[in-house]
Amino acid sequence: MQTQKVIDHIVNWLKDYATKANSKGFVVGVSGGIDSAVVSVLAAKTGLQTLVLEMPIRQKADQVDRAQDHIDFLKANYPNVEGFRVDLTPTFESFEKTTEGYKDESPNKNLAEANTRSRLRMITLYYYGQINGLLVTGTGNKVEDFGVGFFTKYGDGGVDISPIADLYKTQVYKIAKELGILESIQIAKPTDGLWEVERTDEDQIGATYPELEWAMEQQIAGKNAEDFSGREKEVMEIYLRFNRATQHKMNPIPVCEIPQELK
């Protein structure tokens, strides 16, 4: 990958899109992770107004520290950046209290609450984005968005633009190094930060990002799990299971088309 040229391409794309959309710039949620760090720097490099928000919900201390350090890094290097914390913990806890007692025994309750965290952040980004005339800027990468569907529908998947969605996670790391992203962020294990206990992306999916990227390339080439053995077969099975189960996230919303003769 021609890393610097890719960076320039994305920055120019962001700037051109914002100009055509009559937008003043971008709003990005930063989590202390690699994807949001890279996207926020790319947005800042456009020179347009860039608002970065940390939106903790009972967040782990290391995630909070990395997010705040990154906001400080952005402010120190880009005069067009404004950033601050919007603590959503009280909002989430109010929601928890309101829904308490409804099917608490459901096996889907914890996942529903995790996804609610992501959706509260989406609402917050659009609130500040609309006030300031900014585009909500996605932080999903290629394998998350189009491979295993590792995002929340109408949560972190609810965005106006996606600048790194055609890049694999390993490529995002290369861009992060080129951009001088803080070392603490570059070495942190990827996590969605939506759970009470520490659950890395690998813990949840069962495969590393390089493995998932390999599997995505095999799928594109027309291969399936039966074409492999051992760990490769296991990884393909994991990838394909996620890919099939999350098509509803990746595909357009189904529309019931009414036959003309019935209208």
User: How far, in Å, CA of 224 to CA of 61, rounded?
Assistant: 41
* pLDDT, mean of residues 105-113: 92
* pTM higher than the cut 0.75: yes
Question: What is the DSSP track for 150-198?
Answer: -S-TTTTT--SB-TTTTS-HHHHHHHHHHHT--HHHHHSPPB---SSS-
Encode 20-47: b = buried (16+ Cβ within 10 Å), e = exposed. Answer: eeebbbbbbbbbbbbbbbbbbbbbbbbe
Q: What is the assigned CATH class of domain 3-201?
A: alpha beta
Residue 232 has pLDDT above 80, yes or no: yes
pLDDT digits (tens, 9 = 90+) for 200-218: 889 899 999 999 999 999 9
Domain ranges for the chain? 3-201, 206-253
**Lowest-pLDDT choice from 54-63, 120-129, 187-196:** 187-196
User: How far, in Å, CA of 161 to CA of 9, rounded?
Assistant: 15
User: How far, in Å, CA of 28 to CA of 163, rounded?
Assistant: 11
Question: What is the DSSP track for 72-110?
Answer: HHHHHH-TTEEEEE---HHHHHHHHHHHTTSSTT-TTHH
User: How far, in Å, CA of 114 to CA of 196, rounded?
Assistant: 9
Which single residue is written with the structure tokens 């040229």? 5
Residue 103 has pLDDT above 90, yes or no: no
In the chain, % of residues over pLDDT 70 = 100
**What pLDDT is attached to residue 75?**
96
**Lowest-pLDDT choice from 55-69, 93-107, 113-127, 183-197:** 183-197
Average pLDDT over all residues of the chain: 94
**What pLDDT is attached to residue 19?**
96
What pLDDT band is residue 190 in, cutting at 50, 70 and 90?
confident
